[in-house]
């Protein structure tokens, strides 16, 4: 069912919009971007509406808001940015049965000093702030239509707060309790074709001029005849289409309440830069979230000292099958893990890194002597890339290069942030310790730091993506870590070559890849992966997943490190 104006709204009186002048967009002086690869989309659909998206026409857009209650506030730029981002989060989840995400506009008003609070700002700097600081949901901070420009402060309580029943006292909520959403990349986009391409990933924010006729809009395809392009307002675009007369249009969402326009939405002619709508748009890609708490590596620099294997090894020279569990009858991989005992811990980022690096140490030794199993707990203790709330594999390698890492006999896995959220409350026992009984306690007894112990490090580390880079890196130097979208169906995997098509895969979990193969009966190529969910999961803790697509983005974000010679 296509959404129509009759279903969405009841018309309101034209005079109701007269108070909206001074809407709140003001372009930042130094507009920065954090961009990934340039997006190129072929065969885009002729129509797109995230209010009725997919074969079953489900709604993926978040609620219409009103920036002007309980006070007037020129916060359009925040509503445009956060509403588009919230929609993209829901699209990334791919599940409309999940709860709607409504991001805390008020926390931006309180703390984003790139912009001017209720006196206006720019969606691109809102995304910059979220990229650097994150943003909670509105259950942390209800919209008050006030900002740092009108006397609001930016303390912990101004980011997330709660108030006890029967008390006038409110307190800050600890940041380990609430979820903070992030942005991996953000940037500017303009021009009809580029905007349509970017919309394939989800809604975008755009700036427009506001005329009296636009303020009084109550339905249909709007077309300004004044030529005004003096942009002073921000909205979000949630789609595009063409009417029965062949008129192309954008579908926009405003922040002036549901009583404005078509239930808070509008249509505006597309392709002529009407009201300047095609000249200044912004997008953001939400960070991986929830589930196993993998976080995209972002801007962590690689350390490359030697030629990358894919530059020296031809893909034609690689074998059809390669498995580090059986190379000429020798198993080079180290032990399997379960990150979720003795309690839940989102440490997949540390498990993937330490598994792959431990394997490479054993490969380096020629499978001679005892295996070294590096300690994920050590990384967690010192926030060496993250905590039990998630982390970045590349930052873990960076930490290992600078500080080294111990094995699990120094720091056994406890699935706990022993060093606190920022790793600054640990002592030497968090590095390496031993415990012994005392006169009053056999167990737990007394523990003390060990002062002499082996440490391991890496000489270089970096990223890999795509089949050829991954194969060459694995073949030449050993297993690698890779991000994957751990969907509900993937969690239920029990065996075979896994395949799942998802239009917007969002990496949220780290695994390690130890080889590849080709099914002799079907000819399907696959990766051989190791998870950290216990041996009872999948194929004794391992899995196979289709190579070259329909594989939950497992080829998009991989990482590796080269261990220093022992």
Q: Which residues contact 332 (CB under 8 A, 6 or more apart)?
A: 324, 325, 359, 362, 363, 367, 478
Contact between 40 and 130 under an 8 Å Cβ cutoff? The reply is no
CA-CA distance, 371 to 374, in Å (whole number)?
Answer: 10
Residues contacting residue 112 through CB under 8 Å, at least 6 positions apart: 78, 121, 125, 126, 129, 148
Provide the pLDDT for residue 43: 74
Query: What pLDDT sits at residue 13?
Result: 25
Cβ contact 390:295 at 8 Å: yes
How far apart CA 208 and CA 47 sit, in angstroms, is 22
> Alpha-carbon distance 523 to 279, whole Å?
48
Q: What would the mean pLDDT of 510-534 be, rounded to a whole number?
A: 96
Of the listed ranges 31-45, 89-103, 341-355, 450-464, the least confidently predicted one is 31-45
Helices then strands, counting H and E runs in the chain, come out as 12, 22
Per-residue confidence band for 370, with pLDDT thresholds at 50, 70 and 90: confident
Angstrom CA distances, 141 to 105, 159, 183, 226, 327, stand at: 8, 7, 19, 40, 56
The percentage of residues in the chain with a pLDDT greater than 70, rounded to a whole number, is 86
- The pLDDT value given to residue 70: 77
pTM for this predicted structure = 0.55
What dotted CATH number matches 25-35+47-286?
3.90.70.10
pLDDT (tens digit per residue) in 10-59? 222 222 332 333 456 556 656 566 655 544 555 789 999 999 888 878 78
Kind of pairing, strands 497-498 and 542-546? Answer: parallel
Higher pLDDT, 243 or 308: 243
Q: What is the pLDDT of residue 294?
A: 44
Q: Rounded to whole angstroms, how far apart are CA atoms 184 and 288?
A: 8
Nearest to 192 by CA among 266, 274, 267: 274
Of 19, 119, 49, 122, nearest to 80 by C-alpha is 122
Contacts of 344 (CB under 8 A, 6+ apart): 388, 415
Q: Over range 172-183, report the average pLDDT.
A: 83
Q: Is 281 helix (H, G, I), strand (E, B) or coil?
A: strand
Query: Tokens 């392709």 belong to which residue?
Result: 271
Dump the DSSP string for 106-127: HHHHHH-TTS-GGG-B-HHHHH
Question: Is 531 noted as a catalytic residue in this protein?
Answer: yes
Q: Is 249 helix (H, G, I), strand (E, B) or coil?
A: strand
Is the Cβ–Cβ distance between 66 and 257 less than 8 Å? yes
pLDDT at 315: 80
Q: Catalytic: 131?
A: no
Which residues in the chain are classed under CATH 3.90.70.10?
25-35+47-286, 309-424+456-563
**Cβ 134 vs Cβ 180: under 8 Å:** yes
Q: Mean pLDDT across the stretch 408-434?
A: 81
Indicate whether 201 pLDDT > 70: yes
Q: What pLDDT is attached to residue 20? A: 36
- Range name among 255-264, 296-305, 451-460 with the lowest pLDDT average: 296-305
CATH number of 309-424+456-563: 3.90.70.10
d(CA 165, CA 475): 61
- Which one of 20, 148, 310, 509 is the catalytic residue? 509
Residues 6+ apart with CB under 8 A from 81: 123, 126, 127, 130, 205, 234, 236, 282, 284
pLDDT bin (cut points 50, 70, 90) of residue 172 is confident
Residues 230-284: tens digit of each pLDDT: 899 999 999 999 999 999 999 999 998 888 999 899 999 999 999 999 999 999 9
DSSP class of 263: T
Query: Residue 439: pLDDT band by 50, 70, 90 thresholds?
Result: confident
Tens of pLDDT, residue by residue over 182-192, are 998 999 999 99
Quote the CA–CA distance of 104 and 178 in Å, as a whole number: 12
**Which DSSP symbol is given to 409?**
T
pLDDT score, position 398: 94
* pLDDT band of 417, cuts 50, 70, 90: confident
- Which pLDDT value is given to residue 325? 92
Q: What is the pLDDT of residues 465-481, one digit of tens each?
A: 999 999 999 999 999 99
Q: Which of 375, 465, 366 is nearest to 412 (CA)?
A: 375
Confidence class of residue 389 from pLDDT cuts 50, 70 and 90? confident
Catalytic-labelled residue, pool 254, 381, 531, 551: 531
Q: In terms of DSSP bridges, do strands 221-222 and 265-269 run parallel, antiparallel, or are they unpaired?
A: parallel
CA dist list (Å): 386 to 294, 309, 406, 422: 9, 29, 16, 8
Whole-number pLDDT of residue 161:
85
509 included as an active-site residue: yes
Q: What tokens appear for 393 in the block?
A: 């594999």
Residue with tokens 């326009």: 261
Comparing 508 with 3, the larger pLDDT belongs to: 508
- Do 170 and 157 form a contact (C-beta atoms < 8 A)? yes
- Residue 303: pLDDT band (50, 70, 90) is low
Q: Residue 54: count other Cβ atoms within 10 Å of its Cβ.
A: 11
| Strand residues in 474-565 grouped as ranges (E) | 480-484, 497-498, 509-518, 525-530, 542-546, 558-563
Say what the pLDDT of residue 29 is: 59
Alpha-carbon distances, residue 25 vs 81, 117, 223, 262 (angstroms): 11, 11, 21, 22
Return the minimum-mean-pLDDT range out of 93-102, 171-180, 312-321, 391-400: 93-102
Among 23-37, 267-281, 422-436, 443-457, the range scoring the smallest mean pLDDT is 23-37
Q: In the predicted model, what is the mean pLDDT of the chain? A: 85
- Position of tokens 């020296």? 312
**Rounded to the nearest 5°, which phi and psi values hold at 545?**
-140, 140
- Determine phi and psi for 473, rounding to 5 degrees: -65, -45
Catalytic residue among 348, 410, 482, 558: 348
pLDDT of residue 311: 76
How confident is residue 518, by pLDDT bands cut at 50, 70 and 90?
A: very high
Give the span between the Cα atoms of 142 and 140, in whole angstroms.
Answer: 7
State the average pLDDT over residues 297-310.
Answer: 65
Tell whether the model's pLDDT for residue 347 goes beyond 80. yes
Helix (H, G, I), strand (E, B) or coil at 18: helix
The three-point CA angle 466-387-361 to 5° equals 55
pLDDT at residue 6 is higher than 60: no
Interhelix angle 123-133/76-93, rounded to 10 degrees, is 60
What the block records as the tokens of 8 is: 């969405």
Q: What percent of the chain has pLDDT over 90?
A: 56
**Over residues 104-130, mean pLDDT:** 95
Question: In the predicted model, what is the mean pLDDT of residues 86-113?
Answer: 83
């Amino acid at each position: 069912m296509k959404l129509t104006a009759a279903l969405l709204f009841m018309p309101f009186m034209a005079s109701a919009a007269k108070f909206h002048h001074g809407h709140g967009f003001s372009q930042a002086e130094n507009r920065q971007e954090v961009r990934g690869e340039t997006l190129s989309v072929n065969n885009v659909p002729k129509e797109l509406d995230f209010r009725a998206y997919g074969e079953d026409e489900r709604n993926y857009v978040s609620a219409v808001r009103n920036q002007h209650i309980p006070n007037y506030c020129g916060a359009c730029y925040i509503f445009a940015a956060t509403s588009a981002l919230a929609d993209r989060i829901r699209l990334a989840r791919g599940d409309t049965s999940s709860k709607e995400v409504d991001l805390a506009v008020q926390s931006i008003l309180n703390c984003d000093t790139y912009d001017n609070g209720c006196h206006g700002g720019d969606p691109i700097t809102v995304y910059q702030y979220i990229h650097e600081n994150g943003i909670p949901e509105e259950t942390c901070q209800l919209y008050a239509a006030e900002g740092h420009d009108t006397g609001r402060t930016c303390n912990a309580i101004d980011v997330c707060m709660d108030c006890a029943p029967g008390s006038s006292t409110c307190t800050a909520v600890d940041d380990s309790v609430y979820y903070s959403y992030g942005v991996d990349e953000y940037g500017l986009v303009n021009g009809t074709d580029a905007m349509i391409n970017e919309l394939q990933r989800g809604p975008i924010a755009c700036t427009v001029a506001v005329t009296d006729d636009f303020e009084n809009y109550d339905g249909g395809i709007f077309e300004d005849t004044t030529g005004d392009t003096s942009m002073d307002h921000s909205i979000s675009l949630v789609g595009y289409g063409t009417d029965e007369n062949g008129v192309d249009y954008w579908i926009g969402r405003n922040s002036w309440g549901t009583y404005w326009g078509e239930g808070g939405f509008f249509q505006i002619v597309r392709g002529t830069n009407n009201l300047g709508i095609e000249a200044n748009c912004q997008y953001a890609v939400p960070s991986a979230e929830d589930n196993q708490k993998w976080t995209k590596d972002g801007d962590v620099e690689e350390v490359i000292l030697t030629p990358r294997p894919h530059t020296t090894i031809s893909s034609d020279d690689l074998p059809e099958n390669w498995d580090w569990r059986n190379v000429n009858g020798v198993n080079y991989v180290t032990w399997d893990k379960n990150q979720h005992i003795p309690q839940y811990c989102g440490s997949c980022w540390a498990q993937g890194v330490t598994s792959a690096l431990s394997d490479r140490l054993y490969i380096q030794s020629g499978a001679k002597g005892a295996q070294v199993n590096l300690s994920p707990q050590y990384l967690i203790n010192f926030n060496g890339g993250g905590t039990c709330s998630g982390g970045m594999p590349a930052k873990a390698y960076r930490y290992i290069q600078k500080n080294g890492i111990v094995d699990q006999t120094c720091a056994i896995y406890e699935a706990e942030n022993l060093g606190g959220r920022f790793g600054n409350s640990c002592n030497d026992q968090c590095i390496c310790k031993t415990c012994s009984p005392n006169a009053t306690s056999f167990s737990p007894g007394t523990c003390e730091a060990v002062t002499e112990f082996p440490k391991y490090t890496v000489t270089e580390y970096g990223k890999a993506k795509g089949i050829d880079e991954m194969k060459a890196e694995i073949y030449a130097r050993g297993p690698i870590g890779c991000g994957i979208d751990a969907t509900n169906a993937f969690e239920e995997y029990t065996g075979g070559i896994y395949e799942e098509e998802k239009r917007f895969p969002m990496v949220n979990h780290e695994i390690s890849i130890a080889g590849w193969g080709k099914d002799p009966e079907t000819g399907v190529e696959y990766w051989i992966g190791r998870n950290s969910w216990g041996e009872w999961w999948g194929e004794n803790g391992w899995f196979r997943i289709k190579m070259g697509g329909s594989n939950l983005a497992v080829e998009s974000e991989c990482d590796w490190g080269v261990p220093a010679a022992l």
